[in-house]
A and B are shown apart, each in its own frame.
Chain A
């Protein structure tokens, strides 16, 4: 595909730029008309992503028929569109997002921790959107890990398009998981320096190693192995923290009870297993409640009897 045409595909920068232009100038009374229409357009266009979301929803709601799964998948796409739109508003400098915070004490505790800490989260809401709030609440530097954009121009746009010259720049550091980037070493250094690292532990992309965890009698969950391995090595406090869209221009930061290493096994392998189970349980509760904003557009589950399947059913 010629480079100029690549910019128009779904991963291209054209759509990002178009959205940025739209949120700056589109009248407020037409925005809620255009966004669902665009969602329908992308829902039809993105067959692979649609099927992946439907597959994930089928694992979450095995009793649903095809029509119900379509409706749920469309709701996921629509929420994703609104999150992108709200993020674009924020980037353009509009202060339009209301925030509510649940788990205030845990956030305060995380802010006051003397050493390193990890935040486990999922692909829900947007960490970009929540960055100013995290900076304000935690008052310490937050490192996040992100998969690079698939198209070079989009990656360039995403890095350029971040707000500059403010506190967020210094306090919110993004590490890209590019092939050959020695990310594990980089992240270990972050934790050794006593800083806070946020990782998304629900999506296996590119060459990330999967960790099959039993989900139901029919499915194994494919979670990324890296975050749990890193956490088991660092043995620093782990806080599950989710950004959830709860309404029109309204989001909630939800800090859930942390993983306690004091009660975990002293053996690294066993404690890692305990952590994996704790995280899958935690994630499961959140995505079963907020299934309509779990933005994983790749297959997250695998059939238990599949040849490449994980451990036998328990």
Chain B
């Protein structure tokens, strides 16, 4: 925890993504209630960025997993399609969970047995890359098999990923 400061002196929390620095304006939250002082965390994150990332990831993964899960719907019987539609949110939940758990089992657990065990931040970064790779594979699959909707969703994914990588090359000051 950082030292206590008067709440009026609160600075906006930093953004993690280069794209957020490009499109979102960093703002300190509007202070409600009678708060007088503020103790910032060592590792802060902008709440608006967190909300936007959560929305994007939720909508994109839900739609992409839906396209994968409902692939071949035209050939299905009505009851099969209905069952699949009902199971869609469950499959989405299991897929996202499964991605994280599989990455932990395949990457984190072996690394915890090596000298890298104490390099928590490095393991976390590897996990992030691994999850992005899984989602990129999903994007590639739906682009190939998901028709025009799949192509559109895939293009959205690759555009966002590509733009973030490109924006990452620019110095942070240039993006604000």
Interface residue ranges, A against B (CB under 8 Å): 21-22, 24-30, 32-34, 36-37, 41, 94-104, 132-133, 136, 246-250, 252, 254
**Are the CB atoms of B1 and A25 closer together than 8 Å?**
no
Question: B44 within 8 Å of A by Cβ?
Answer: yes
Known contacts: A102-B34, A133-B1. The answer to whether A30 contacts B57 by CB under 8 A is yes
Q: Which of A30, A101, A250 has the most CB of B within 10 A?
A: A30
A97 and B36 alpha carbons, distance in the complex (Å): 17
Assembly CA distance A94 to B42 (angstroms): 9
* B173 lies within 8 A of chain A by Cβ: no
For B51, what are the chain A residues with a Cβ–Cβ distance below 8 Å? 32, 248
Q: With an 8 A cutoff between CB atoms, is B74 at the interface?
A: no
Q: How far is the CA of A102 from the CA of B103 in the complex (A)?
A: 42
A98 touches B100 (CB 8 A): no
In the complex, the answer to whether B96 meets A132 with C-beta atoms within 8 Å is no
Q: Which residue of A lies closest to B7 (CB)?
A: A100
Contact B45 A254 (CB under 8 A): no
Closest A residue to B31 using CB positions: A100
Nearest residue in A to B37 (C-beta to C-beta)? A101
Q: Known contacts being A27-B131, A133-B1, is A33 close to B47, with CB within 8 Å?
A: no
Tell me the complex Cα distance, A36–B92, Å: 13
CA A120 to CA B88, docked complex, whole Å: 46
**Interface residue B50 (Cβ < 8 Å from any Cβ of A):** yes
Chain B proximity of A166: nearest CB distance (Å): 12
- Measured CB to CB, the closest approach of chain B to A147, in angstroms, equals 28
Whether A32 touches B39, Cβ cut-off 8 Å, given contacts A102-B33, A246-B32, A248-B47, is: no
Contact assessment for B127 and A27 in the assembled complex, using a CB-CB cutoff below 8 Å: yes
How many Å lie between the Cα of A99 and that of B37 in the bound state?
8
Known: A33-B57, A95-B42, A248-B51. 14 other contacts (CB 8 A): A25-B104, A27-B100, A28-B45, A29-B54, A32-B53, A34-B100, A41-B93, A95-B1, A95-B43, A96-B43, A98-B44, A248-B47, A248-B50, A249-B45
A18 and chain B: residue at smallest CB distance: B101
Question: Can you report 13 residue pairs joining A to B where beta carbons are below 8 Å apart?
Answer: A25-B123, A28-B128, A29-B54, A30-B99, A30-B100, A32-B53, A33-B54, A33-B57, A33-B58, A100-B31, A101-B36, A101-B38, A104-B36
In the complex, B29 has a CB within 8 A of chain A: yes
Q: Which 4 A-B pairs have the closest CB atoms?
A: A32-B54, A248-B47, A95-B42, A100-B35
B residues with CB within 8 A of A = 1, 4, 7, 13, 16, 29, 31-45, 47, 50-51, 53-54, 57-58, 61, 92-93, 96-97, 99-100, 103-104, 108, 120, 123-124, 127-128, 131-132
Inter-chain CA distance A67–B41, complex, in Å, is 37
CA distance A33 to B120 in the complex (A): 22
Say yes or no: A99 contacts B1, CB within 8 Å. Answer: yes
Q: Which of B34, B43, B58 counts the most A-chain CB atoms under 10 A from its CB?
A: B34
Q: Which residue of A lies closest to B29 (CB)?
A: A247
Name B29's contact: one of A30, A36, A136, A250 (CB within 8 Å). A250
| A34 & B43 in contact (Cβ 8 Å cutoff) | no
Nearest residue (CB) in B for A132 is B1
A267 to chain B, nearest CB (A): 34
Residues of B within 8 A of A247 (CB): 29, 47
- Asked if B100 and A22 sit within 8 Å, CB to CB, the answer is yes
Nearest residue (CB) in A for B49 is A248
A99-B43 contact, Cβ under 8 Å, with A33-B54, A133-B1:
no
> Chain B contacts of A99 at CB under 8 A?
1, 38-39, 41
B120 touches A133 (CB 8 A): no
Task: Let me know if A95 and B41 touch, CB within 8 A.
Answer: yes
Please give the distance in Å from B48's CB to the nearest CB on chain A. Answer: 9
List residues of chain A with CB within 8 A of the CB of B39.
98-101, 133
Instruction: Select one of A33, A246, A248 contacting B96, CB under 8 A.
Output: A33
Please determine whether A252 and B37 come into contact, CB atoms closer than 8 angstroms: no
Shortest C-beta distance, A148 to chain B (Å), equals 29
Query: Which one, B92, B93, B97, B128, contacts A27 given CB within 8 A?
Result: B128
Contact B43 A94 (CB under 8 A): yes
Do B41 and A96 have beta carbons less than 8 Å apart? yes
Chain B residues contacting A26 (CB-CB under 8 Å) are 100, 127
Q: Could you tell me the distance in whole angstroms from the C-beta of B109 to the nearest C-beta in chain A?
A: 10
